[in-house]
Amino acid sequence: MITQNTIDKVFEISRVEEVIGEFVQLKKAGSNFKGLSPFTDEKTPSFVVSPVKQIWKDFSTGKGGNAVSFLMEHEHYTYPEAIRWLAKKYNIEIEETQQSDEQKEQMNERESMFLVSKFAKDYFHDVLMNTQSGRAIGLSYFKERGFREETIEKFDLGYCKDEWDNFTNAALKKGYDLKYLKETGLTIVKEGGTSLRKFDRFKGRVMFPIHSMSGRILGFGGRILTNDKKAAKYLNSPESPIYHKSKILYGLYLAKKEIAKQDNCYLVEGYTDVISFHQAGVENVVASSGTALTPDQIRLINRLTKNITVLFDGDAAGIRASLRGIDLILEQGMNVKVVSFPEGEDPDSFARANSSAELKQYLNDKAQDFIEFKVSLLMKEAENDPVKKAGLIRDIVTSISKIPDGIQREVYVQECANIMDISEQVLASELAQLLNKGAGTRRANSGSAGPRPSVQERLASKGREGKGMELIKGRAGSRAQQKIDQVSILEKEILRILLLYGNELVDFENWVDAFDKHGRPILEKEEYQNTVSNELYLNLQEDEIEFSNELFRLTYYEMVSQMNQREKIVVDELIMHENTEIASLVTNILMDEEKYTLSSWERKEVFVTEIEKILPKLVTDAILNLRRVLIEKKIQGIMTEMQSGEVVPDLEEIGNYTDLKRLLFERLNRVI
């Protein structure tokens, strides 16, 4: 585990403008830098980097943070991976916390396997490009497949000589341990009498290195070039501590940026499908490497986008097999579309036979919703057979039942009913039965209730029609008209004031109860000085107000902790907070004021009031507004309880709250 001292050094030395400058072209704009968003296709720069605050924000997407969060967002690194990347860039030695001998041994073994795998990648590529047999056999094969040399370099393609132990001997001469050659599966070791026999696993094959999401070599895929019917056409590295086939997608390392940017991932089957698509200019593509799709693989894509487009070749058997993978994708709550290629074509051959523009146009035009695709495909098989059609309906509804979101399920039921010309109520009833059965199974296995059926599905399971469906539509309409959460808005405003002006010393005034010389009650003005943070804290403490938004509450507590320990708010520590959600929230709030620099208000002769002049009123209004909204919610809650008959009306309590609300409105110079 990386020590806190190392993390502190990384944040202290790294410069956000230098880090982001490696990925985004930045131009000076006053005290800041501006550039085009790396997350969207935009023509007007809305990406701002603040060297003073050491933060960035993309106003087109709302994303923001520090140098570490940029690497996590743009490169999809984990937090430790981002810290290590920055440490390497700035030549910072990484200190690790004390580990047990067993932990050290496991870490050293994994690192040794990574080093062996990297050597293998470099060696196979060198053989391909710089040896006579490599160029004559391996390179000529890739050229026949239409791969250009820059594509071969991009994917680190290679060749393992058709010799029993060429690679193994080369690795041993370089000092790599046979133990790790064996554990990574690069070398097969057999005991024979008193000696060990060593063989190259990928002898005579062209090599496809498999990268992790951060670019490290995990394993290999190798394709045989001879017509040996006894040998597998494709051979993968065996499972190892660093290579788990079910948790890896080929091409993800090179595709992750484009997947996030396009907000869509094309899913294909083989290595050459991915490579041909890249060469044709479609880079948001990954492959399951010929294995059945797994939940772990789907979750990798889910980190980047909610949208998957599954690409099928013209083989009907392959399509049926791949349809099973779609149900897994639906279970993860993702949106699925399907593109099928003409009979006899696959993604690789189609990409090579058509121009980049034609491929992109085809993918765009032929993308179908999975329900439409599945119904049209299976209806051909059912034709006029009622029994087959009934089975088809159950098959379709089974897929819909995998979707965790109830509203999405309702939409798909309606769509399916229209396509199949069948009663929506019949489909809803079948779906409700499947959901109830599934929930029962889940309760039996884990004691949990499972996903709650939608209103439509619950009504359908009871056989209600007519008025029930009208009720659904009415409720759906009311759900769409959600009220703005005023409390969260005001809580965020308090955090904004604390972050921007919390340490400012300000002259405040307050009106307190007093008596004139005749003993009559009056309001008397009291003037005093206080920091903004203390003023807000004391008022919130006096009213015993707790933030309702959990993230806001955690961020506020961090500020209070700083105030207690250091008597001030240290914004830099919040920006670098180990809780990335807190760091992101703080960054977004700080960078929101930078949006005014993008609009060039002064050039347009629009002048913004200097905030320092109205700061006392800003603080007071924030407190009073939050009190007002909380009192309104309290009154509303009492009224609701009274209307339901749950409590006896307490008119005095309501009167007291209403009077307090009126006083707050007067303080805010409003009319009730």
**In whole angstroms, what is the distance from residue 220 CA to residue 238 CA?**
9
- Residues 106, 42 share a domain: no
User: Do 430 and 393 contact (CB within 8 A), yes or no?
Assistant: yes
Residue 109: which of 226, 242, 4, 18 has the closest Cα? Answer: 242
What domain count does the chain have? 4
User: Is 16 contained in some domain?
Assistant: yes
Three-state DSSP at 182 gives helix
What pLDDT sits at residue 230? 83
Residue with tokens 């290999």: 220
Check residues 26 and 601 and name the one with the higher pLDDT.
26
- Residues 560, 447 share a domain: no
In 46-164, where do the E strands start and end? 47-50, 55-58, 63-65, 158-159
- End of a domain among 421, 454, 480? 480
- Residues 127, 50 share a domain: no
Paired strand residues for 56:
49, 65
Q: Domain span at residue 82?
A: 4-89
Share of the chain above pLDDT 70, in %: 79
Q: What is the CATH number of the domain that holds 49?
A: 3.90.580.10
- End of a domain among 461, 480, 499? 480
- Residues 468, 509 share a domain: no
- Residues 212, 160 share a domain: yes
User: Is 642 contained in some domain?
Assistant: yes
- By the 10 Å C-beta count (0-12 exposed, 13-18 middle, 19+ buried), 15 is classed as middle
Identify the weakest region by mean pLDDT among 51-65, 324-338, 480-494, 502-516: 480-494
User: Is 281 contained in some domain?
Assistant: no
- Residues 547, 504 share a domain: yes
pLDDT at 332 over 70: yes
CA 535 to chain centre: 38
Paired strand residues for 507:
529
Q: What is the mean pLDDT of residues 614-634?
A: 80
pLDDT at 587 over 50: yes
Q: Are strands 307-312 and 265-268 parallel, antiparallel or unpaired?
A: parallel
User: Do 576 and 66 contact (CB within 8 A), yes or no?
Assistant: yes
CB atoms inside a 10 Å sphere around CB 239: 12
Q: What is the CATH number of the domain that holds 174?
A: 3.90.980.10
- End of a domain among 89, 113, 131? 89
What pLDDT sits at residue 595? 60
Q: What is the mean pLDDT of residues 95-124?
A: 82
Q: Say which DSSP state 2 is in.
A: B
Per-residue H/E/C for 213-245: CCCCEEEEEEEECCCCCCCCCEEECCCCCCCCH
- Average of per-residue pLDDT values in the chain: 81
User: Is 311 contained in some domain?
Assistant: no
**In whole angstroms, what is the distance from residue 201 CA to residue 205 CA?**
9
pLDDT in tens, 129-183: 999 999 999 999 999 999 999 999 999 999 999 999 999 999 999 999 999 999 9
pLDDT in tens, 288-313: 876 788 888 998 888 788 899 999 88
Q: What is the mean pLDDT of residues 34-51?
A: 87
- Residues 471, 497 share a domain: no
- Residues 183, 49 share a domain: no
What pLDDT sits at residue 180? 95
The residue type at 590: L
- Residues 105, 74 share a domain: no
- Residues 647, 503 share a domain: yes
- The interaxial angle of helices 67-74 and 79-89, nearest 10 deg, is 120
- Residues 650, 525 share a domain: yes
Which range in 43-47, 179-183, 396-400, 509-513 is most confidently predicted, on average pLDDT? 179-183
User: Is 362 contained in some domain?
Assistant: no
pLDDT at 671 over 70: no
User: Do 532 and 542 contact (CB within 8 A), yes or no?
Assistant: no
What pLDDT sits at residue 215? 85
Identify the weakest region by mean pLDDT among 93-97, 346-350, 351-355, 361-365: 93-97
- Residues 457, 381 share a domain: yes
